Amino acid sequence: MSSHQGVRDFYSGKNIFITGASGFLGICLLEKILRTIPEHGNIYLLLRPKRGKEIAERLEDIKKNQIFEVVLKEKSVEEVFSKVQAVAGDVGQENLGLSPAERKLLTDNVNVIIHSAATLDFGDTLKTTVDINLLGTRRIVQLAKECARLDVLVHVSSAYVNSYRLEAEEVIYPLKRDPDELVSLVGKLNPEELEEQTPGILADHPNTYTITKHMAEHEIQKAEELFPCTIVRPSMIIGAWKEPVPGWTISKNGPQGFLMGAAKGVIRRLPVGKELVYDYIPVDIVVNNLLAAGCFAGVTKPKKVAVFHCTSSTRNPFRWLQVEDKINDYLHLYPLKSAVWYPHLKLLPTVAWYKISALFVHMFPAFILDTVTRLSGGRPILVKLHRNVNTSLGRLEKFIFTEWKFTAKKTMDLQDWLTKEDQVDFSVDITTLVWLDYFTDLTLGARTYLSKEPLKTIAAAKKKDKILLALHLAWQVALFSLIWYLFACATGMTMSSSLFVLPICFILYNLL
Ligand SMILES: NC(=O)c1ccc[n+]([C@@H]2O[C@H](COP(=O)([O-])OP(=O)(O)OC[C@H]3O[C@@H](n4cnc5c(N)ncnc54)[C@H](OP(=O)(O)O)[C@@H]3O)[C@@H](O)[C@H]2O)c1
């Protein structure tokens, strides 16, 4: 038996300050605390006004998220959220944009800080990412220094802060550029100059996100002797494995987004290296890792920041090859009522191949469907959507076709360090995850939480799936017949003597 405090005991009575709680990871973290650590103290959520919504309204939106359905089966909204309080702020602003009164509220009371807020847009300018990811973290560290009763600071980083290395350990690697120099450069240059100089500034970093998140780790490290702190580095976060519901997600990034688009029949091709290891990690494991790491650092008070890789590549590697044959079965097991074309997803080995194929398989049908939508008075979106996908592919290509290995020895040791009960309730072990089963749940999760189609619509969706199959086959017959006819007209051959066109069409179509 471990003699130290368990995770639940550690957080009981503690006042917790969370940034990024409106995001994918943050809301899942909040849900887990509310559902499984009922004795938690006050929970302060840093929220910013957004899209015309003030923070009170944003907190109400958080409460209405489907993720809370499980905990709300047992308790009322008032009970569940009784100790949750929104605090107006913005990590991208001086002093975190806090009023003096709210800053005092936090510095007087907070015991645990979990800093998850960040901008994840790979296309964001250096100015924005420096403000939010680097300076935002510096401001959180400053706040932590002022907190009279701080037990631990938990920082959410990313495994890809070291994406310029193909193998990374759970250590903080040195920076190649001084963050203060970068901050002053960003302050001095005008937007055009900054954009022009950005590739040189990034050097071997693929984008502004990874460089600023790398620098943010160093901001945490500077405080390691002042109070216990820990860094958790997730890889690509995907839908829940087990909690609160298998497949839960609100993120459209990565596999869940592909599955959503594929189920609609809109995404039919995907560029992936089938044999490469893709480092995906379910969001509930990341949440457990944050809570377990915070407890570990808070209890053991290490002199150096404890870094944990929350990754799968070296513990339970995933390759698309493992699910390739099954994906289409899942799509037809859980079809969508809102599908616009018969779903069929095919994996292609290069971006160039994908682009050629997408022209015929994505753009052409999108153009037809958008025309139908326009004629029936609707708002066409498909051509625009595919254009956006094509644009973002350039930014993502490195991430699609590079295999990284993130060692996770310290995370495995963390699992061993947990009490027997916590090894189940706050497990960070993913070795028993079966990717095929996981993807079945994720397909259903994407259907329920992204496409917002409840289970009761499955029967109607299956009927529609059959109709779409018939239409898809009819479309292929019509298309091939048209090509056959046009070929015969163009060459002056008879239809029967030009019959060979059909198998050629079929072979070419299958290559796409
Ligand atoms: N998702 C992944 O695959 C992944 C992988 C590795 C690491 N991470 C890390 O995990 C953390 C959470 O990511 P996520 O997936 O939850 O992203 P997300 O869904 O985009 O959420 C980002 C959160 O940060 C908040 N935020 C952004 N800028 C802010 C600002 N200036 N002031 C205050 N709050 C701000 C957002 O608030 P608003 O709602 O107001 O925008 C939102 O709550 C990040 O630190 C990220 O680097 C994510």
Q: What percentage of the chain carries pLDDT values higher than 70?
A: 100
Residue 242 Cα to ligand 1 middle (Å): 22
∠ CA 112-414-15, nearest 5°, is: 10
In a domain, 487, yes or no: yes
Confidence of residue 385 (pLDDT cuts 50, 70, 90): confident
Q: Which of 18, 22, 132 to mutate to test the pocket of ligand 1 (most atoms within 8 A of CB)?
A: 22
Q: Is residue 100 part of a domain?
A: yes
Structural domain ending residue among the three candidates 292, 316, 340 = 316
Q: How far apart are CA 77 and CA 85, in angstroms?
A: 13
In a domain, 94, yes or no: yes
Q: What letters, b where the CB count within 10 A reaches 16 and e where it falls short, cover 378-389?
A: eebebeebbeeb
Q: Tell me, what's the pLDDT at 398?
A: 85
- Cα distance between residue 27 and residue 21, in whole Å: 5
Beta strands in 170-235, from DSSP E residues, in sequence order: 229-234
pLDDT above 60 for 1: no
Domain extent at residue 43: 7-251+280-316
Has residue 330 been placed in a domain?
Answer: no
- Expressed in angstroms and rounded, the spacing between residue 156 Cα and the centre of ligand 1 is 9
- Which of 316, 340, 366 terminates a domain? The answer is 316
> pLDDT higher for 315 or 392?
315
Cα of 19 to ligand 1 centre, how many Å? 8
| The pLDDT value given to residue 2 | 64
Q: Is pLDDT of 196 > 70?
A: yes
Which residue among 44, 120, 404 has the greatest number of ligand 1 atoms within 8 angstroms of its CB, and so is best to mutate?
120
Each residue of 397-424: pLDDT tens digit?
888 999 999 999 999 999 999 999 999 9
Q: Is residue 106 part of a domain?
A: yes
Q: What's the chain's average pLDDT?
A: 95
What pLDDT shows up at residue 154?
Answer: 98
**Ligand 1 test: best mutation among 24, 119, 154, most atoms within 8 Å of CB?**
24
**How far apart, in whole angstroms, are the C-alpha atoms of residue 148 and residue 365?**
61
Q: Tell me which residues have their CB closer than 6 angstroms to ligand 1.
A: 19-20, 22-26, 46, 48, 50, 90-92, 116-120, 132, 156, 158, 213, 234, 236-237
The CATH number of the domain where 286 resides is what? 3.40.50.720
What pLDDT, on the 0 to 100 scale, is given for residue 133?
98
Which atom number of ligand 1 is nearest to the Cα of residue 117?
A: 24
Average pLDDT over residues 16-39: 98
How many angstroms separate the alpha carbon of residue 130 from the centre of ligand 1? 14
Q: Are 229 and 153 in contact (CB under 8 A)?
A: yes
Distance between Cα 100 and ligand 1 center (Å): 25
The last residue of one of the domains, among 294, 316, 338, is 316
Q: Give which of 387, 352, 350 is closest to 271, Cα–Cα.
A: 350
Query: For residue 1, is it within any domain?
Result: no
Q: Which letter does DSSP use for residue 450 in this model?
A: I
Residue 439 lies in a domain: no
CA-to-CA distance for 275 and 414, rounded, in angstroms?
Answer: 30
Give the distance (Å) from ligand 1 centre to CA of residue 133. Answer: 10
What atom of ligand 1 comes closest to residue 237's alpha carbon? Answer: 3
Residue 109 belongs to some domain of the structure: yes
Domain count, the chain: 2
